[in-house]
Structure 1
Amino acid sequence: MADYQQNTPVEDPSASTQMFRAFVDEPQPQPATAVSGGSRTGLIAIGVIIALVVVVGVVYLAVK
Structure 2
Amino acid sequence: MPDSYQDPSGNTEAFRAFAHPSTESPAESPAESPAAVKPSTNLPLIVGGIVAALAVIALITWLAL
Larger RCO, structures 1/2 (Cα 8 Å, 6+ apart): 2
**Larger helix proportion of the pair:** 1
Which of the pair has more CA radius of gyration? 1
